[in-house]
Amino acid sequence: MPDLEIRVESRKRDLISEIVEHKKNSSRAAAAEGIERLKARLSDLAHIVREGVVDGWANVAPSTRHKLEEWMSR
């Protein structure tokens, strides 16, 4: 399952980059809303990982894998 970990980390980095871009454009009214939406997605990821990746990425349960796949597709 290392592939899953790599894809999740890549998506996480993408979202963090989007937050940075929004902060650069913070004068735009939608920037704050975008930042909050992205932070909520990262928080969702942290919760999924905390609850489902207990024994490491090599032992991710199918239900957690599904949640992570779903998270990445949003």
Predicted pLDDT of residue 41? 97
pTM beyond 0.75, yes or no? yes
| Residue 9: how many other CB atoms lie within 10 Å | 12
- Non-local (6+) Cβ contacts of 58 within 8 A are 1, 2
Model confidence pLDDT, tens digit, residues 41-73:
999 999 999 999 988 898 899 999 999 999 999
Left (φ > 0), alpha (ψ -120 to 50) or beta: where does 28 sit? beta
